Structures are given as structure tokens and as C-alpha cells.
Amino acid sequence: MAATDTLRRVLGSAARRLLRLLRLMPAVPTQRQADGPSHRPPASRSGHPLGKAVGGLLGGLVATGGASGATLPEDRAELLLHHYDGGGVSASGPAVFVRKALAGRVSLSGTFYVDAVSNASVDVVTTASPYRETRRAADLSLATVVRDATITLGAGRSREPDYIADTLSLDVAQEFFGGMSTLNLGFTRGADRVGARSVGFFDRARHWQYRIGLAQVLSPRWIASANLEVISDSGYLGSPYRVARVFGAAVPERVPRTRTSRALKLQAVGDLGSRDALRLELRAFQDTWDIRALTLEAGYSRHVGERWLLDLGARWHQQRKALFYSDDATAETLYVTRNRQLGTARNLGLSSRLSYSLPRRWGFVQAPTFSGALELKRFDFEDYTDLRTGLPYRHPAALLQLMLSGSF
């Protein structure tokens, strides 16, 4: 029993140090579809890498000093300003996140996000007119703890002029082996209304997402996780604005009304022992449209002085085209698309973030943090021709983020 208590104290101390080092390591932001309305449900708030991989595990371990038992997440507020520019698309807006415990039994959190988009991408300027639109998304979730399990129920809505997406989700994080392991189970149901600016709403889409993951403390300095996600889509899965080419002539895009995809993500996060930390991640993807993709990510964090934290990251992605994708089809087929997001592509991203811990005030239990992040990307579409030049299309992009956050 004494040995077990000693081990728990050692792991608890190590987990606290690891969390301090990694809690501000940035996640790689995702790009909004750059070839017209996204036609997808809003992405959930991702937070830092530990949030998805091992946040529940370390949260309980740190809060109790190594004792088992899940705990509610800390009260927190965040304000984010972002701006994306690349490939003729400009998107910017604010996002606000607030999480507050109620009576010590449940934790209520909400996110509001605004995305103002100006689109003059290669698809738009070669087949239609540039346009501007605004997307607004709101998410609300309620979390409670039952013994060693954290149960979270969430709902969200994303609305733009020609697309409305509603989601409902349920997640359960179960700790076991004295808090050394966490099993995560989740389900999301999405229902979309699809429209076009000149037609109005004309069709629907449905989405079912199932996820399972395991996070494991490997040593006082290393944590690993594995997550599997399966998504089943049905209904209208294309874009009313996009055209394909058959024998050089423009025709409306035709894609299947069903799609099933699977993604496996493996991640390891470690404390290197010199006020720095390392994150490694691999993600493999495949679907019934015959798309295969592989993504590799690496991140490094280091404290500089008492108040500064520097994060550096790199991301490499490669994708094989869908079965019915064609830059210019030479035969008439049931399905055909020229959506470059479904073609053969690769991209590289380099990111940096600098965070500063402000003096503790205004009721914050920890020093609030101000951070600025910049990610530079390069997109190469190997079998998508830019009709203006006759060459394979490629473009750079940049994403800037400013965030103020703190626990209270």
C-alpha cells in the first residue's frame, strides 16, 4: 500500500509538471473549405493537444494529487481572434468560450464563433463570381461526474445563408487503474439543411460519428493515446455551386449520397526534463470513396523565463484522390467531380506560438495568458489544373490567431 501511494505521488507530481509544460501547446488549426460554402457541420472546439488525448486523465490526476476519481474541468474563459488568407479566400472573426461549474455538480460551457468569408478561390473565379458571407456557430455542453466517469452532453448549430447544420453529441470518459488510464467513448448526430443562394433550401444531409479512444500514462514523463473515429454520411454531400469537366465541357457535379470514413490517430506527449516538451502524432484516413490520406505532426514547447512559452510545430499531409475524381473526364460516368479537395494533394504547414502569462488579477485562480500564433501553409494539388494557367494548382496560406485565456 505504501509503495502504491508513493507511486501515485510521484506520478501526480510528474503529471502536474507535464501539464504546465504542455497546456498551451497549440493544436494545428483546420482550414475551412476554400472552394465555396463548407457544407459540413461546424468543427468542435479542439483546444490544446492534451485536451483530446489526455485532458480527462491528467485533470483528475493533477486535481487529486494522484488519487483516483474523475473531477469536473476547471472554470475557464477564452477570447480568440483569427484571420485566414490563402488561395483567394479570406476568413476572419472572433470566438468566445466560457466554462463554469454549477453547484459543484455540473459544468456548463458555451462557444460562440463568427466567420466572415470573402471567397475568390480558383473555383469561384473560373466558374462564378466572388462573394462574401458570414457563418455563425454556437455550441453548448453540459458535463457531470459519476464516480470515475465524466459524462458530457453537447448541442450545436452552425448557420450561413445557404447551409444550416445542427449537432447533438454524447461523450463518456471512464478512468480506471487508479486514474492511470482513460477510456473515451463518443457519438455525434448531425442534421443539415442544404441550399443555394438563387434557389433556397432544397435538400438534407445526415451524419453519424462514432469515436473510441484510450489514453495511458506510460511513465512519469510520457503519455500516449490512440483514437478511432468512424463517420457515416448520407444525403446531399456535394455543392450546388461546383461544376465538373467532361470532354472539356462544364457539367454539374455528381457525387454519391452515402459515404463512410474511418480515421485512426496515435499520439505521444512527453516531458523532456528541461522545461520543454515534445508531441508526436500520426493520423491515417480512408473512406468508401477510395480516398486514402496520411498526416504526420510534431510539436515542441519550451518555457523561456518565468512568463514566456514558445511552441513550434510542423504538419505534413498527403492524400490520394477519390475514385470518381477527374480533372477532365474522358468518359461519361454516374459520378464525377472536380472538387480539388477530393483530388491527389499534399500540403505542409509550419506553426509557431508565443504565450505570455499576465499578472494574476480580476479573480483568476491562475495567471491569465495572452498568446499569438502564426501558421504558414503550402497546398499542392497534383491533378487539379488551374484553368487560367494550364498548370497544376498550388498556393500558400497563412493563419493568424490572437487569444486571451484564463482560469477563474
Residue 28's pLDDT is 34
> Which tens digit of pLDDT belongs to each residue from 23-38?
333 333 333 333 333 3
Residue 2's pLDDT is 47
Residue 362's pLDDT is 58
Helices 55-63 & 2-22 angle (0-180, nearest 10) = 120
Q: Is 47 helix (H, G, I), strand (E, B) or coil?
A: coil
SS3 readout for 294-324:
EEEEEEEEEEECCCEEEEEEEEEEEEECCCC
Burial classification of residue 383, based on how many CB atoms lie within 10 Å of its CB (0-12 exposed, 13-18 middle, 19 or more buried): middle
> Which tens digit of pLDDT belongs to each residue from 179-191?
899 999 999 999 9
Low-confidence ranges of the chain (pLDDT < 70): 1-69, 361-365
> How many domains are there within the chain?
1
Alpha carbon distance 45, 155 (integer Å): 12
Residue 336 gets which letter from DSSP?
A: B
Alpha carbon distance 58, 207 (integer Å): 31
CATH number for the domain spanning 154: value is 2.40.160.40
Residue 267's pLDDT is 98
Residue 367's pLDDT is 76
Strand partners, 59: none
- Would you say 33 and 40 are in contact if contact means Cβ atoms under 8 Å apart? yes
Beta strands in 104-176 (DSSP E): 106-119, 131-146, 149-160, 163-176
Residue 101's pLDDT is 93
Which of 26, 250, 274, 11 minimizes the C-alpha distance to 126? 250
User: Which structural domain, as residue segments, surrounds residue 198?
Assistant: 2-407
